[in-house]
Amino acid sequence: MQENKGKLSKAMLFILLMGIVSMFSDLTHEGATGIRGAYLDLLGASAVTIGFVSGLGELVGYSLRMLFGLFTDKTKKYWPITIIGYTVDLLAVPALALITENGWRWAAALLIVQRMGKAMKKPAKDTILSFAATAEGAGKSFAIQEALDQIGAFLGPVLVYLVMKYKSGSPIDIYRAAFAVLAVPAVVTLFLLLFAKRRFPNPESFEPEPKEYIPFRIKPSFIVYLVAVSMFAFGFIDFSLITMHASKTMLFSDAALPLLYALAMLSDAAAALICGLLYDKKGIKIL
């Protein structure tokens, strides 16, 4: 939607700004995703441990989203919760560069803390984004957000690849350098987030007053959807295990591991933009 011809609305500017925030955020933690399994293996963790830590991180992350979502709804402190969540999420990643040899327990703890930060920020961030999406179209708004998000998820592994390719030293020193470099996009993310808060302190103003309040009710179709998603997740193999296996079997070099993840994220970005635009036209059947 445009307020004047050739001029973006404030809602769209907010959507784009938050999309750029997500881009740098994903550049940080998705940059780490491509190598965290191999890193845990290098630090002495077994395959069982890596699988358990990865699963526990996902469990903690998704379970806490409900609690933080309820807390966000109750307090309406959208920006503070978003900023705190982003801070925890992002700073846990470069902190992996501080782990010493055989310190896989500390690395595992940081990975779980990172998921906790993501769980904290996600409900609040999605809520403030939904305010602007109401004015601009949900499909288009979240498609833009997801596309920028996945561009960051593509660039992060590429950045890590370049560091690991040209950094000299022992394997653990190379991994530490890769994690340390990710502190740069992490700081950029927090700076942009604070700028967004200052520029748009009340994003809820984008959302028009509802004509009537419709309470949420769990429908049978929603339960079927949850079961389907659960079955999908049940058969999902975390990328940490894939990278650990690829590293141990020397199927790919350590430096090439992030590129595998980057390729997956690039395809995700393209699909998100296309499917989001189609959703506005075709509705839920696009799913």
Tell me the per-residue pLDDT of 85-104, one tens digit each, with 9 for 90 and over: 999 999 999 999 999 989 99
DSSP letter assigned to residue 97 = G
Tens of pLDDT, residues 117-131? 999 999 999 989 888
Q: What is the pLDDT of residues 146-178, one digit of tens each?
A: 788 888 888 998 999 999 989 988 999 999 999
Phi and psi torsions of 99, nearest 5°:
-70, 135
The average confidence (pLDDT) of the chain is: 84
The string of pLDDT tens digits covering residues 21-73 is 999 999 998 899 888 888 998 999 998 898 888 888 888 888 899 899 999 98
| pLDDT score at 1 | 43
Is 50 domain-assigned? yes
List of residues 6+ apart from 207 with CB closer than 8 A: 130, 131, 132, 134, 135
Q: Give the pLDDT band of residue 3 (cuts 50, 70, 90).
A: very low
Closest CA to 148 of 270, 13, 277, 1: 270
- Give counts: helices (H), strands (E), the chain: 10, 2
Residue 120 lies in domain: 8-205+219-286
- Paired with 4 in beta bridges are 7
Residue 213 located in a structural domain: no
For residue 61, is it within any domain? Answer: yes
Is residue 2, in this structure, part of any structural domain at all? no
User: Strands 2-4, 7-8: parallel, antiparallel or unpaired by DSSP?
Assistant: antiparallel
For residue 248, being part of any structural domain is answered with yes
Query: How many domains does the chain divide into?
Result: 1
Confidence of residue 287 (pLDDT cuts 50, 70, 90): low
- Is 108 among the domain residues? yes
| Cα–Cα distances in angstroms (integers) from residue 150 to residues 19, 22, 287, in the given order | 10, 9, 19
Q: What's at 1, amino acid-wise? A: M
**pTM, full prediction:** 0.83
Average pLDDT over residues 235-250: 72
CATH number at residue 183: 1.20.1250.20
| Position 246 in a domain | yes
Between residues 97 and 278, the one the model is more confident about: 97
For residue 155, being part of any structural domain is answered with yes
Residue 85: its pLDDT value, please? 95
Check: CB of residue 21 under 8 Å from CB of residue 85: no
Whether the predicted pLDDT of 279 surpasses 50? yes
pLDDT attached to residue 4:
52
